[in-house]
Amino acid sequence: GAAPGAPDGPGALPPVRDWPATDLPGTDFDPVLSELMREGPVTRIRLPHGSGWAWLVTRHADVRAVTNDPRFSRRAVLEQDVTRLAPHFIPVPGAIGFEDPPGHTRLRRVVAPAFTAPGVERLRGRAQEMLDDLVNAVLREGPPADLTAAVLAPFPLAVVSELMGVPPADRPRMHHWTELILSSAHGAERSARARQEMCDHFTALLRRRIAGGSPAGGGQGPGSRAGNGGSAADGSVTGLLAAGVADGQLTEAEAAGLALLLQIGGEAVTNNSGNILYLLLTRPDLWERLREEPESRPSAVEELLRYIPHRNAVGLSRIALEDVTVAGARIRAGEPVYVSYLAANRDPEVFPDPGRIDPGRSPNPHVAFGHGPHYCVGALLARMESELLLDAWLDRFPGLRFAVPTGQLRWRPGALIRGPESLPVTW
Ligand code: HEM
């Protein structure tokens, strides 16, 4: 609906709202997004970078329809300077976020086996071991500790590296590049250089694998356990990519670009699980309930994924390839459209009392991992890691609490993905 008195006939466009997307504390839901949701199912926004305006779709049903509709293209986004949150894009060849089917399908199919339930479950035991090592070290040191630095940063990095087949010696560099690529603080040029360096590194690793050698350092990746000399067929992501290049399913440049994106994506759990821990420590009832009812933890993880505002503002837009009507709004060919998964996760039609954390919520068809062809590749991996981390806090740190008043906690400034900079705790 338009404002009272405004023309409301067909063709009347909603006003363009500025969305400055400033830093927000804790897990606060963005008040601007709340207003946009109240204003209508489809509104128009202007973000800090790029030019012009874009449509914003917020209702659960509409978000699912748009993200599953081939009339909206990701590829076309690269041809426009769409209004956006990030100062720079990070597309490389193989950047599946900017691909449409069938090219998108072809690229994802190559790595899919590593991210299926059996692929991820194969890694659970090793992930548990790596987490135990980190937690044991924290307990040995004694309180206080920063659980972001000690566990939440190194654990997802180690797990995704293991899945990728990235040798342990390369992991600190991978982490450094990821930070530079995902942050705008060092400038677009430094980000672009980090992207190139990481790409070159993966290219070299893939070439060694195609040649049948083990990954650099030969170490403890899945390759060594497969006992096949680290050939392309060891089930690791770089193994799958090397096999795909050798078979001509994708180019070497596409494979390196895809590896880069997966490695970067792997670190998303650091921030998300940082927010989970923050919520647990600020809600004693929730902590107690999950401590006493371990069987309710998997559904609690889903509810926390729904509730947590994972990102700031909105991510990548889509461009209408033809005129499309969404919830009564006439979107014209060439116009950019954003969906908000965060808003869809608070749609009261689907989630009664959406602002409440209900660990037993059922059904819980949240879209925290997206929807449609671009659905998060790492969703099952992220779930597995989130569950292991939740168990670690609840079962291994009795009496866990913040070591500073919560008002002193610091949140990542200027971040695309929201999360605590550090979590100083004691027990
Ligand atoms: C895409 C959420 C963890 C890799 C996405 C999308 C969302 C998302 C909302 C975008 C859907 C769209 O473009 O419409 C999350 C959350 C995570 C998480 C909340 C943690 C709790 C991971 C992990 C990995 C990963 C662990 C890698 C191992 C990716 C990739 C894409 C993606 C590569 C692009 C997929 C495509 O465009 O086809 N994720 N993710 N994510 N995610 Fe995740």
Nearest CA to ligand 1 atom 18: 268
| Helix 154-164 and helix 117-141, axial crossing angle in degrees, nearest 10 | 140
- Say how many Å lie between the CA of residue 405 and the centre of ligand 1: 32
Nearest CA to ligand 1 atom 15: 369
pLDDT averaged over the chain?
91
The ligand 1 atom at the shortest distance from the C-alpha of residue 375 is 11
Please list every protein residue whose CB sits less than 6 Å from any atom of ligand 1. Answer: 67, 96-97, 108, 160, 261-262, 265-266, 268-269, 272, 310, 316, 341, 368-370, 374, 376-378, 381-382
CB 180 within 8 A of CB 191: yes
Long-range contacts of 388-391 (CB under 8 A, 24+ apart): 388/124, 388/127, 388/128, 388/131, 389/131, 389/151, 389/152, 389/155, 389/269, 389/273, 389/276, 389/277, 390/273, 390/276, 390/280, 390/290, 390/297, 390/300, 390/301, 391/294, 391/297
pLDDT in the model for residue 212: 80
- Say how many Å lie between the CA of residue 427 and the centre of ligand 1: 33
Nearest CA to ligand 1 atom 43: 376
Read off the pLDDT of residues 358-376 as tens digits, 9 standing for 90 and up: 999 999 999 999 999 999 9
Interface confidence, given as ipTM, is 0.99
User: Range with the lowest mean pLDDT among 61-75, 274-288, 403-417?
Assistant: 403-417
The gap from C-alpha 368 to its chain's centroid, in whole angstroms, comes to 9
| Section 349-359 average pLDDT | 98
**Could you give the CA distance from residue 268 to residue 142 in angstroms, rounded to a whole number?**
27
pLDDT interval class at 181 (50, 70, 90):
confident
CA distances, 127 to each of 115, 176, 292, 316, 392 (Å): 14, 21, 24, 31, 12
CB 33 within 8 A of CB 315: no
CB 32 within 8 A of CB 21: yes
Percentage, residues of the chain above pLDDT 90: 82
Nearest CA to ligand 1 atom 7: 369
CB 19 within 8 A of CB 46: yes
The gap from C-alpha 223 to its chain's centroid, in whole angstroms, comes to 26
DSSP 209-221: HHTTPPPTT--SS
In terms of DSSP bridges, do strands 329-331 and 318-320 run parallel, antiparallel, or are they unpaired? unpaired
- Say how many Å lie between the CA of residue 199 and the centre of ligand 1: 19
pLDDT in the model for residue 224: 40
pLDDT in the model for residue 214: 57
Nearest CA to ligand 1 atom 4: 265
CA distances, 74 to each of 60, 91, 294 (Å): 20, 11, 41
Q: Degrees (nearest 5) of the Cα angle 156, 90, 317? A: 100
Read off the pLDDT of residues 89-115 as tens digits, 9 standing for 90 and up: 666 777 899 999 999 999 999 999 999
The ligand 1 atom at the shortest distance from the C-alpha of residue 310 is 19
Q: What are phi and psi of 239, to 5 degrees?
A: -65, -45
Answer yes or no: is pLDDT of 225 > 60.
no
In terms of DSSP bridges, do strands 424-426 and 401-402 run parallel, antiparallel, or are they unpaired? antiparallel
**Could you give the CA distance from residue 55 to residue 323 in angstroms, rounded to a whole number?**
13
pLDDT in the model for residue 10: 54
For a pocket test of ligand 1, which of 376, 383, 390 has the largest count of ligand atoms closer than 8 A to its C-beta?
A: 376
Answer yes or no: is pLDDT of 186 > 70.
yes
Nearest CA to ligand 1 atom 39: 376
CB 264 within 8 A of CB 178: yes
> What tokens appear for 41 in the block?
């199912």
Answer yes or no: is pLDDT of 8 > 90.
no
Read off the pLDDT of residues 231-287 as tens digits, 9 standing for 90 and up: 556 789 999 999 999 999 999 999 999 999 999 999 999 999 999 999 999 999 999
For residue 232, give the nearest of 260, 259, 212, 258 by alpha carbon: 212
pLDDT in the model for residue 229: 37
pLDDT interval class at 9 (50, 70, 90):
low
Cis geometry, peptide bond prior to residue 91 (ω within 30 degrees of 0): no
User: Range with the lowest mean pLDDT among 36-45, 208-217, 388-397?
Assistant: 208-217
pLDDT in the model for residue 363: 97
> What tokens appear for 410 in the block?
């610091």
pLDDT in the model for residue 233: 60
pLDDT in the model for residue 257: 93
| Section 145-163 average pLDDT | 97
Query: Rounded to the nearest 10 degrees, how much is the dihedral formed by the CA atoms of 393, 387, 364, 318?
Result: 110
Percentage, residues of the chain above pLDDT 70: 91
| Section 153-160 average pLDDT | 97
| Section 216-235 average pLDDT | 47
- Say how many Å lie between the CA of residue 327 and the centre of ligand 1: 26
- Say how many Å lie between the CA of residue 272 and the centre of ligand 1: 12
Does the CA dihedral 280-285-288-290 come out positive or negative? negative
